[in-house]
Amino acid sequence: MASNQSVVVYGAYGHTGRFVVSELRKRGWTPVLSGRDARKLDALATEYPGLTVQPASVDEPASLDRALEGAAAVINCAGPFASTAGPVIEAALRARVPYLDVAAEVEANIDTFTQYADRAREAGIVVVHAMAFYGGLGDLLATAAMGDWASADDISIAYGLDSWLPTAGTLAAGQVSRQRRDGRRVVFANGKIAHATGAAPVVEWEFPAPVGTQQAVSEFTMADTVTIARHIDVPEIRSYMTLAAVKDLIDPSPKAPVASDASGRSSQTFVVEVIARKGGEERRAVARGRDIYAVSAPLVVEALARVLGGQVRTPGVLTAGEAFDARDFLASLGPEHLSFEVR
C-alpha cells in the first residue's frame, strides 16, 4: 500500500459512492468525502466519524483543487459522468494524482479517451475509467478469455441479471445518453461504434447456470464494448441483456435497489459471460455475483491499490484489461465479491 492512504471519493454520498467508501475503509485507506451537496456529505460523515469532508463542485475548479490537495488519488462516483468526468480529471491532472471512475455511460467513456488520452500520458498520470460492473468487469472477462490470442473474430457479452432496479444516478445518466443519441441505439460493428434505429432484437440466449435460457435484448451496448475495443483487435462485439432486467430499467415508475443485509447489498444477482471466437474456436470467461452496484466497489478499490502499488507502469487513459493482469485481478476479488472461471 502507498504511504499516503488518503483517497478522495467524489460523489461519496451516492449509492455506489457509499459502497466505495466502505470498501476503502475495509482495506485500510482513508476516504475523503467529497461532492457538491454539503448537507449530504455532513450526513454521511456522521456514519464515519473522523473522516474529512471536502465539498466541491464541478463548476468550481478551485473547490476540486482544495478537495484533492494532499490526496493520493481520486475516485469519481458522481454521475452523470458526461458532466463530472472532465472537471474531475482536470483536477487530477493539476494535482498530479491518479484518477479512477465507475462510469457506465458509453458516450462519457468515449469522451475520456478522446479528450484525455494524450494529455494524461504526457503528464505521466494514470487514468482508469469505467472501473465498475459495466466497463471494467466485462473488459477483464474478455481479456481473461482471450488468453494468448492477439485478436478475435467476434466477442459476445451476455449479462444475465435477474433484475435491474436502477439508482437515481443510473436514471440520470441514461437520460443524458438518450439525449446524445437522439433516439438511436449504440452498436459495434466493422470495428467501430455506430448507431442504429428501431427496436433492438429480442432473442433466446442460453446463459450459464443458474440463469439458463432466457429472452434477451441483443445489441444492448454498454461501456464494456468501449473498453474492450480500445485494446482488443475485434471487428464485432455483440451484447445481450436479460429481457426482465431491461423491463425493470425502462419501467415508467422504476423501483430503487433495496438493501437485503447490513452491508447494503441488494438481493439482485448476476451472471456475466464473455465468449471470444476465432477460427471456429471459442474461449469463455464467466463471473457470478450479487448486486451490480455493490460489486463496483471492490473492482475500483482493487484497481486503486494496484495503481498506487506501482503495478501500472504506463501512464495515460487505460481500461481494466489494458492496465491489469485480468485473470489475477478477478481471482484476487475472491468469493466474497464474485466467483470467476475461464472455460
Cα–Cα distances in angstroms (integers) from residue 207 to residues 97, 222, 242, 272, in the given order: 40, 18, 9, 8
pLDDT of the residue at 3? 72
Contacts 24+ apart (CB under 8 A), 39-46: 40/13, 41/12, 41/13, 43/13, 44/12, 44/13, 44/18
Quote the CA–CA distance of 338 and 137 in Å, as a whole number.
11
Residue at 202: amino acid letter: V
**CB atoms closer than 10 angstroms to residue 296:** 27
Q: Note whether residue 340 is domain-resident.
A: no
- The CATH number assigned to the domain holding 95 equals 3.40.50.720
- pLDDT the model gives residue 16: 98
Q: Whole domain around residue 72: which residue ranges?
A: 6-133+295-331
Q: Are residues 302 and 283 in the same domain?
A: no
In a shared domain, residues 145 and 261: yes
Residues 191 and 204 in one domain: yes
Q: How far apart are CA 215 and CA 24, in angstroms?
A: 37
CATH number at residue 179: 3.30.360.10
Tally of CB atoms within 10 A around 168: 12
Per-residue confidence (pLDDT) for residue 1, from 0 to 100: 53
Specify the 3-state DSSP secondary structure of 54: strand
Q: Is the peptide bond before 98 cis (omega within 30 degrees of 0)?
A: no
pTM: 0.97
Regarding whether 142 and 242 lie in a shared domain, the answer is yes
**The three grid cell numbers given for residue 325, joined into one nine-digit string:** 493482469
Q: What is the DSSP letter of 153?
A: S
The per-residue pLDDT for 4 is 78
Looking at the structure, tell me whether residues 72 and 184 fall in a common domain. Answer: no
pLDDT digits (tens, 9 = 90+) for 27-62: 999 999 999 999 999 999 999 999 999 999 999 999
Instruction: Report the C-alpha gap between 101 and 54 in whole angstroms.
Output: 18
> How many structural domains compose the chain?
2
Which residues does the chain have with pLDDT short of 70? Answer: 1-2
Residues 69 and 198 in one domain: no
Task: For residues 226 and 284, state if they share a domain.
Answer: yes
